[in-house]
Structure 1
Amino acid sequence: MRKILTVDTPRILLGLLFLVGAIEGFTFIFTGNHLIHPPTSPAGEAFELALQQSGFVWPLVKTVHLVGALCLLSNRAPAFGLAILLPAITVIALFHFVLNPGGIPMALAMLVLTGLLLVAYRDRYRPLFGRGAAGRFA
């Protein structure tokens, strides 16, 4: 039961969150229309528009979101899926804390889910930070 609450539920919820975001992002890329677009501050809209108009950043970000979500939802390499999503999670959290305060509750929920998964997968990340890790890659 503990594993369900601390690993499976956060993994599935975070995976669904990023899957929905990826689907919405690809829908915008292919149709120019949003399926879901929560209220966003003017500064947040300007940031999002800049990413979309860059031509390559938005598709790259949404592809990473899709791959990470599929890893989490399929439970195939979930620690890898979380690792590739961590930069996006950081940017999304900062986006809400700095540019779009209305999304802070969602950012906090995402950070809690991420924290639970980081603790659950800590053994898989330990070799990256262990003694002599830098020497193995030099």
Structure 2
Amino acid sequence: MKIAVLIARVLLGLVFVVFGLNFFFQFLHMAQPPMSDKAQAFSGGLFGSGYFFQYMKVIEITSGLFLIINRYTALFVLLLLPISLNIFLFHAILAPAGLPIGLAVIVLEVFLLFAYRKYYASIFTATPTV
């Protein structure tokens, strides 16, 4: 199990670091797959905000680096959950051409959430005490 967690953690970290850095430096020249009108409208709205993608990519790069170096891993896996879920849902619903990468990201994310589940137990305390 330790080896599987190590592989999943490093793979997920690399995905977010590489694609996060690619947003800023564009060193991977990839052709954009065809997107539906709804997918273009969604992406256009996020880009049009002027800050959202930059903010998200900084979180991705930071989280990915912490996953790779194995520090505060449970926190950063949890921080990447909404991003991973949105990547998956965007490709599953709006742009199916990218579904394989979306599926890989969500599978790695869920696996790591399961692997680090003991660190999340206190979050689900119904009535916390001070």
For the superposition of Structure 1 and Structure 2, which TM-score range results when normalised by the shorter chain?
0.7 to 0.9
- 1:1-138 to 2 correspondence within 5 Å? 2-5=1-4, 7-27=5-25, 35-42=29-36, 43-133=38-128, 136=130
Aligned residues: 129
Provide the identity percentage.
35
Kindly state the Cα deviation for residue 34 of structure 1 after the two structures are TM-superposed. Answer: 6.8
Kindly state the Cα deviation for residue 35 of structure 1 after the two structures are TM-superposed. Answer: 3.6
Kindly state the Cα deviation for residue 44 of structure 1 after the two structures are TM-superposed. Answer: 2.6
Residue 59 to residue 3, structure 1, CA distance change in 2 (3 Å): same
The separation in 1 between residues aligned to 2:116 and 2:46, in whole angstroms, is: 31
Q: Give TM-score scaled by structure 1 length.
A: 0.82
> Following superposition, which runs of at least 4 residues in structure 1 exceed 4 angstroms of deviation?
none
- RMSD of aligned residue pairs (Cα, Å): 2.0
The separation in 2 between residues aligned to 1:20 and 1:45, in whole angstroms, is: 23
In structure 2, give the amino acid aligned to 1:102.
A
Secondary structure, aligned partner of 2:30: coil
Point out where structure 1 has 5 or more consecutive residues left out of the alignment: none
The separation in 2 between residues aligned to 1:95 and 1:86, in whole angstroms, is: 14
Conserved 8 A contact 1:93-1:107? yes
Conserved 8 A contact 1:27-1:35? no
Conserved 8 A contact 1:71-1:77? yes
- CA deviation map 1:16-59 (0-9, x unaligned): 1111111111226xxxx974354141333332233222111111
